[in-house]
A and B are shown apart, each in its own frame.
Chain A
């Protein structure tokens, strides 16, 4: 939200008429550690996908996964739970 809405623009009862519009709020900038996925190690077990609290793991048609850095808060659950250690956490801003 760039500017504050006036009361005239609000819905009655302040309902939010657009489902799931929190996707416009990018929580990726909370992140201090960045998960990096090594696709060659991934066995497509989907554990990261099922455990991710955001959800910030994109599950593709072939069950391969991708990390959505727009929302990932860098908690590191995916790296900790990955059975083949395909995800490593690296500090943001570093190399």
Chain B
């Protein structure tokens, strides 16, 4: 497809995301934002839900954005984007102004929980936008509270591991499953350790007329409790242990884009992170086993869907 790249060297130089933002050292969000702004061609408008990205990149009187950018509230990023898209449609019709691509960034809190109904509405109405969820698997900006995206067994400040519970007891929501059920034409998972895969998926999403949903694993050194230098390493292990399968859905077909033939044990991913540390104690083995089953079940389902698509 036009615009896709084969190697990192082909990724454009232009930076539309400026340094000087106040995201934590080693944050997983900017590697996504930088690639998105490089991969989406032509004029674009960015809408951001409340979250780490919004608060840390736009501390008054500064902004890190070199594209038009708007924040409205926590729950309505998709609704705000819908309005902008509709307004540009009118401008296009009446004055012949070229319609920009609308890009939405929401965290997992702003997507899985608080913004889900706005997202559902936007997908159902079919607005032309790329909705990207940067999923750091808890409400990191407000102090690491559990969200619908927190994986089973993870300790957060509202699901602390201790005598009563061994971290969060529930499994993670399947966001792309929800998006695909709305009939979107393109949906995919992204991971910062695979920048070329990520770039090409964004190019594909940008080429689709109508809503597309991308789901990005965003390692968070602060909330997941690992050394900031290991952000990419942790992200890569998530793929290699099948905790974060890289796949895409395109017009009814599923495709696994990074096939993991021999997965590493999930302990390799778990043991790097303080939020999972308690799972390695013998009394919590059952939680780890359950998490492993979640991972295996999802992968098997994905393999079935992908082979049925061939």
Contacts and interface: CB of A to CB of B under 8 A. Distances in A.
Interface of A: 1, 5, 14, 16, 18-27, 30-31, 45-47, 49-56, 59, 63, 68, 70-71, 73-77, 79-81, 89
Given A21-B61, A79-B229, A71 B9 contact: no
Nearest to A74: B25
A25 B229 contact: no
Nearest to B11: A50
Nearest to A81: B232
A27 B19 contact: yes
B232 A51 contact: yes
A20 B21 CA distance: 9
B61 A5 contact: yes
A55 B228 contact: no
B62 A25 contact: yes
Contacts of A49: 8
A31 B256 CA distance: 39
B141 interface: no
A46 B20 contact: no
A53 B29 CA distance: 7
A54 B30 contact: yes
A77 B13 contact: no
B210 interface: no
A20 B35 CA distance: 16
Contact of B62 (A16, A46, A54, A74): A16
